[in-house]
Amino acid sequence: QVQLVESGGGSVQAGGSLRLSCTPSGDTASNDYMAWFRQAPGKEREGVACIRMGGISTYYADSVKGRFTISQDYAKNAVYLEMNSLKPEDTAMYYCAASAAPWWSFPVGRWAQGDVYNSWGQGTQVTVSS
């Protein structure tokens, strides 16, 4: 089981930037895919970005393409979400997630579905004011 700890959330004005970090601990050897999700009050959880560890592939929701970048620190096995040109609609709790599935069995076409991930962090709040 992997424990995930997010950090880096905060309050910014529209147009600003934030960088979220996700630091895993425990059995991280098999986490070939990791992702960021978000959930705003009264809305469904949304897949934001996903990365195949090693930086081989990245995937983004249309709503954040060109503004957000997911990356990793291979040595630390940490995952980051660089968020630029933030908008009020980006306000949400952001969660890090990890899949225990081997890379060859990960359902890439469903990367934005929460049920393909086994481990979740507690979340970090991002608030963007207009």
Output the CA–CA distances (angstroms, integers) from residue 6 to 44, 65, 81, 119, 122, in the order listed: 20, 21, 10, 12, 7
Q: What is the mean pLDDT of residues 88-96?
A: 98
Instruction: Report how far residue 129's alpha carbon sits from residue 20's, in angstroms, rounded to the nearest whole number.
Output: 18
Mean pLDDT in residue range 23-27: 81
**pLDDT at residue 6, rounded to an integer:** 96
Quote the mean pLDDT of the chain. Answer: 93
pLDDT band at 30 (very low <50, low <70, confident <90, very high): low
When mean pLDDT is compared over 13-17, 24-28, 29-33, the highest value belongs to 13-17
Q: What are the tens digits of pLDDT across the range 43-53?
A: 999 999 999 98
Name the phi and psi angles at 105, rounded to 5.
Answer: -110, 0
Q: 67-81, pLDDT tens digit by residue?
A: 999 999 878 888 999
